[in-house]
Amino acid sequence: MKTIALIAHDGKKAEMVAFVKDHLEYLKKAKLLATGTTGSYIQQTGLDVELKLSGPKGGDAQIAALAAEGKVDGIIFFRDPLGKHPHEPDIQMLMRICDLWNVPLATNPATGTLIIEGLLDN
């Protein structure tokens, strides 16, 4: 079973929930991880989600560590590119880990769809 991590900044949480609803059949085939608040919203869709800490409290770093250990097959991170984020170093570290360990990382719905279909279409 593939493991997908889901993360969304506050201004993108509604977009993430809509994305998840649009891809429920695919996501039912995966083990899902998410940062705390994002994951609690996703759980309301009926999917089982393993919650990590919220992003600002270390959730991004927890998911990055799992990616470095080879325990995450893809990450969908709807970032707010116009907002300021106090945990920006964690965000940059997550992106660096994905590049270093060749973990697919989507930052918008179009690439998120490609990751989901590529990993879970079987």
pLDDT confidence tier of residue 24, bands split at 50, 70 and 90: very high
- Give me the mean pLDDT over the 4-22 stretch: 96
Residues with a known catalytic role:
60
Residue 105 pLDDT greater than 80, yes or no: yes
Alpha helices in 2-108 (DSSP H): 13-22, 24-27, 36-43, 59-68, 88-101
What domains, with CATH codes, occur in the chain? Answer: 3-120 (3.40.50.1380)
The pTM of the whole model exceeds 0.85: yes
Question: H-helix or E-strand containing 78?
Answer: strand 74-78
Instruction: State residue 88's pLDDT score.
Output: 76
Residue 121 pLDDT greater than 80, yes or no: yes
Residue 89 pLDDT greater than 90, yes or no: no
pLDDT confidence tier of residue 55, bands split at 50, 70 and 90: confident
